[in-house]
Amino acid sequence: MNEKKLQLTEDGSYTIAIPAMHVTYHSKHGAIQESMHIFIRSGLDYCMNENRHLHYSTVNIFEVGFGTGLNALLSLSEAIKRNQKINYQTIELYPLLPEEAAQLNYSFLVDEDLQQNFMAMHNCEWNKVIQIHPLFSFQKTKIDIQQFHSQQQFHAIYFDAFDPNTQPELWRESIFIKMYNMLYENGILVTYCSKGIVQRAMKTTGFTIEKLHGPVGKREIVRAIKKST
């Protein structure tokens, strides 16, 4: 895997850059503000607020691209604030080393008490359900999304793969068919990418597309809904 470098973003939180690939894991305008806007407010909040007529004893979340673990940490923080059980599953083919994850300052900016939980996500066994917190079960799998299969269905998918220019194979219609089938009816997929080719692939799959205002530095993001028939 290419060399990774720690990079400070505008909200004071770190991201990881891979110079050889010309990519970063999060926005230079702020890693935490970006993840909060896209995956928590537009994803998890939507499941729990907009669909408040539904009661979820446990919210099932699937993340494509565990990366730095920031989205999982923020979801854990929300689970505790809301006293809501979350079952969180994620895949990552090229995980950070524990010593790389230890340099990230997310827990200290979000909730310092969660630092041990955050590091537990990075240090725990693969392919095994771990009870990170009484409200938060966690499983990570080291696999490519194209080879991944699950019998579990999900209320929300955080689609946080590298952009289509870097990993075009992850943004094809065949991938979104898989994502669509993994969702419950009225389940959602949220992503930072609003490119026309991505929206068209989602629509062909059967998703209903909502274009939302993006976080700082980004015009819009996408929430794709599996509407009940």
SS3 letters for the chain?
Answer: CCCCEEEECCCCCEEEEEHHHCEECCCCCCHHHHHHHHHHHHHHHHHHHHCCCCCCCEEEEEEECCCCCHHHHHHHHHHHHHCCEEEEEEECCCCCCHHHHCCCCHHHHHCHHHHHHHHHHHHCCCCCCEEEECCEEEEEECCCCCCCCCCCCEEEEEECCCCCCCCHHHHCHHHHHHHHHHEEEEEEEEECCCCHHHHHHHHHHCCEEEEEECCCCCCEEEEEECCCC
Name the residue range of residue 82's domain.
Answer: 31-225
With respect to residue 133, please indicate whether it lies within any of the assigned structural domains. Answer: yes
With respect to residue 9, please indicate whether it lies within any of the assigned structural domains. Answer: no
With respect to residue 11, please indicate whether it lies within any of the assigned structural domains. Answer: no
With respect to residue 15, please indicate whether it lies within any of the assigned structural domains. Answer: no
- What pLDDT score does 2 carry? 76
With respect to residue 199, please indicate whether it lies within any of the assigned structural domains. Answer: yes
- What pLDDT score does 155 carry? 95
User: What CATH number does residue 104 fall under?
Assistant: 3.40.50.150
Q: What is the pLDDT of residues 91-133, one digit of tens each?
A: 999 999 999 999 999 999 999 999 999 999 999 999 999 999 9
State how many domains the chain has.
Answer: 1
229 residues of the chain, pLDDT tens digit each: 578 999 999 999 999 999 998 999 999 999 999 999 999 999 999 988 765 545 678 999 999 999 999 999 999 999 999 999 999 999 999 999 999 999 999 999 999 999 999 999 999 999 999 999 999 999 999 999 999 998 899 999 999 999 999 999 999 999 999 999 999 999 999 999 999 999 999 999 999 999 999 999 999 999 999 987 6
- What pLDDT score does 55 carry? 64
With respect to residue 61, please indicate whether it lies within any of the assigned structural domains. Answer: yes
With respect to residue 8, please indicate whether it lies within any of the assigned structural domains. Answer: no
With respect to residue 106, please indicate whether it lies within any of the assigned structural domains. Answer: yes
